Amino acid sequence: MRWVVHAREEFTASHALRVYNGHPEEAHSHRWAVEVRVGVPRLNAEGYALDFHALRSALAAAVADLHDADLTTHSEVGMPTPTAENLAMVLARRLEEPVALLGGTLLTVSVWEGPGNRVDLELEG
């Protein structure tokens, strides 16, 4: 059994895939959203799984440099191409240690590219 705590952040950023349907994509902007799911095996002495505020702070710090950024030229997200999948991988790397320090295990990083398109990176089966 485990408890699963969720946190979500949103930001606006632009990107252009280096190759999309065989051609470079035109730069365009999205309202991105990132949600993380963190597993905790037991409640703490105060009766909750994980501090929501601390988790939100860790997520906010992980996306801070992405607000109004050009993800295509971003040193981590831009290579090999600034996809939602690559963004999820970058954020998973950024969040794994802070989440562990909070006493949780990062389970999933979900990235929405606009309101209707989402990719999920599942880190633990």
Give me the CATH topology for the region 3-122.
Tetrahydropterin Synthase; Chain A (3.30.479)
- What pLDDT, on the 0 to 100 scale, is given for residue 20? 87
Give the separation between CA 55 and CA 47, rounded to whole angstroms: 17
Query: pLDDT category, 125, cuts 50, 70, 90?
Result: low
Total count of residues recorded for the chain: 125
Q: For residue range 54-70, what is the model confidence (pLDDT) as tens digits?
A: 999 999 999 999 999 99
**Given strand 105-113, what is the order of strands in its sheet?**
3-15, 28-40, 105-113, 118-122
Phi, psi of 52, deg, nearest 5:
-55, -45
Query: pLDDT category, 25, cuts 50, 70, 90?
Result: very high
State the average pLDDT for the chain: 96
Query: pLDDT category, 76, cuts 50, 70, 90?
Result: very high
Domain residue spans in the chain?
A: 3-122
- Residue 69 Ramachandran class (φ > 0 left, ψ -120 to 50 alpha, else beta): beta
pTM, two decimal places: 0.94
